Amino acid sequence: PEELIANGAIEGAENIPLGEVENHADEIAKLDGNVIFFCRSGNRSGKATEAFKQRGFTNVYNGGGYEELSKLL
């Protein structure tokens, strides 16, 4: 997507649009460790994190925006 070209990507991250992320709940449930959602600004990742917490996930976190998160990693 254009957003990844413009903003960059984090190695090992998988790009899933917000409207499709809940369709991947079974895959995400099988992952070991924590899941960090992030987007350009943190708004969409916050929505994804809340949706998964409401489904009972305890290992999901809002990483916020790409720029800030990429500096930490």
Whole-model pTM: value is 0.84
Cβ 64 vs Cβ 38: under 8 Å: yes
- Structural domain for 15, as ranges: 2-72
Structural domains counted in the chain: 1
* Alpha-carbon gap, residue 29 to 46, rounded angstroms: 18
Per-residue pLDDT of the chain (73 residues; tens, 9 = 90+): 666 666 667 888 888 999 999 999 999 999 999 999 999 889 999 999 999 999 999 999 999 998 888 888 7
Report helix, strand or coil for 20: helix
User: Taking a C-beta distance cutoff of 8 angstroms, is the pair 35, 57 a contact?
Assistant: yes
Domain of residue 59, CATH code: 3.40.250.10
